[in-house]
């Protein structure tokens, strides 16, 4: 979205964490005052991240020029990723939180933003009803063929790559800049800290743990994986 404003040698992603460049709505807009403060200071092209379910978005999101890019990640990997993340946020004086407990809660639909399967189906249906407003991507396809996904993303955002950009391999440069390997190696993402609020902070490195597809096999039993697969089949009924 901002490739005409920055070059690859001075891009903000080189010196700022990804979530400082694209902040979470939930962390910057906590009340009316914080919303007004951010609205005044934000960039012309506003990019936000969010975990808010589609059903809780205001109607103005769909009626405005806003566009939504939803990234679906395989259910078992989502559980493991969430488990690692919440262990980092968990207060030190609380008891341990084994993967078995996280698995049990996840299967019951207990999650920070509602049941995972409801979250996915909400945005999937929105992408079918409003394909010009909602783009549904999968993390697995992004890893498998990032150039195809990036080209599709640019077109969806009305910022398609021109012939000159293709000749100059701009697409490949963006993939390289935004790759897990590159971002995780940057000093800002090894030592930097993201401040969600005065009470909550998290080191940037915890947002870039492995970036692998199928890491769940290192944490879940075969039986746990099969149970999650069965729930996913029942809940999503072949939607994704």
Q: What is the pLDDT of residue 20?
A: 87
The pLDDT mean for the chain works out to 89
pLDDT at 75 over 90: yes
Phi, psi (deg, nearest 5) at residue 137: -115, 160
Distance CA 135, CA 155 (A): 11
State pLDDT tens for residues 155-179. Answer: 999 999 999 999 999 999 999 999 9
Q: Rounded mean pLDDT of 184-198? A: 86
Q: What is the pLDDT of residue 39?
A: 57
- How many C-beta atoms surround the C-beta of residue 235 within 10 A? 16
SS3 9: coil
Q: What is the pLDDT of residue 34?
A: 58
Strands of the chain (E only): list them. Answer: 68-72, 134-138, 193-195, 201-203
Q: What is the pLDDT of residue 91?
A: 76
Residue 65: burial class (beta carbons within 10 Å; 0-12, 13-18, 19+)? exposed
pLDDT at 110 over 80: yes
Contact 150, 174 (CB under 8 A): yes
State pLDDT tens for residues 4-45. Answer: 889 999 999 999 999 888 888 877 766 666 555 555 455 445
More confident residue, 113 or 42: 113
Domain ranges of the chain: 12-236
Confidence of residue 237 (pLDDT cuts 50, 70, 90): confident
Comparing CA positions, the residue from 238, 183, 209, 223 lying closest to residue 78 is: 209
Q: Percent of the chain scored above 90 by pLDDT?
A: 61
Q: What is the pLDDT of residue 26?
A: 79
- Identify whether 195 is a catalytic site residue: no
Q: What is the pLDDT of residue 4?
A: 87
Distance CA 183, CA 212 (A): 14
Comparing CA positions, the residue from 153, 207, 211, 209 lying closest to residue 20 is: 207
Q: What is the pLDDT of residue 198?
A: 67
pLDDT at 145 over 60: yes
Q: What is the pLDDT of residue 37?
A: 58
Q: What is the pLDDT of residue 136?
A: 97
Q: Write the DSSP assignment of 86-122 as a string of letters.
A: HHHHS-TTSPP--HHHHHHHHHTT--BTB-HHHHHHH
Comparing CA positions, the residue from 177, 175, 183, 189 lying closest to residue 142 is: 175
pLDDT at 82 over 80: yes
pLDDT at 215 over 80: yes
CATH architecture of 12-236: 3-Layer(aba) Sandwich (3.40)
Active site residue: 11, 51, 84, 119, which one? 51
More confident residue, 95 or 199: 95
């Amino acid at each position: 979205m901002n490739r005409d404003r920055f070059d690859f040698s001075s891009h903000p992603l080189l010196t700022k964490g990804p979530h400082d460049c694209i902040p979470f709505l939930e962390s910057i807009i906590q009340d009316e005052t914080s919303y007004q403060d951010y609205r005044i200071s934000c960039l012309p092209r506003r990019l936000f991240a969010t975990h808010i379910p589609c059903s809780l978005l205001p109607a103005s999101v769909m009626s405005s020029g806003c566009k939504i890019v939803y990234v679906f990640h395989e259910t078992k990997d989502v559980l493991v990723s969430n488990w690692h993340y919440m262990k980092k946020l968990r207060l030190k004086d609380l008891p341990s939180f084994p993967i078995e407990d996280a698995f049990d809660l996840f299967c019951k639909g207990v999650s920070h933003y509602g049941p995972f399967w409801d979250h996915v189906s909400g945005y999937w249906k929105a992408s079918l009803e409003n394909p010009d407003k909602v783009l549904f991507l999968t993390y697995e396809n992004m890893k498998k063929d990032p150039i195809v996904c990036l080209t599709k993303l640019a077109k969806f955002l009305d910022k398609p790559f021109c012939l000159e950009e293709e000749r100059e391999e701009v697409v490949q440069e963006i993939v390289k800049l935004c790759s897990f390997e590159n971002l995780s190696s940057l000093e800002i993402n090894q030592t930097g800290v993201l401040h969600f609020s005065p009470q909550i902070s998290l080191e940037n490195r915890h947002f870039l743990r492995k970036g692998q597809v199928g890491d769940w096999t290192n944490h879940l039993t075969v039986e746990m994986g099969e149970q999650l697969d069965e729930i996913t089949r029942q809940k999503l009924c072949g939607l994704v």
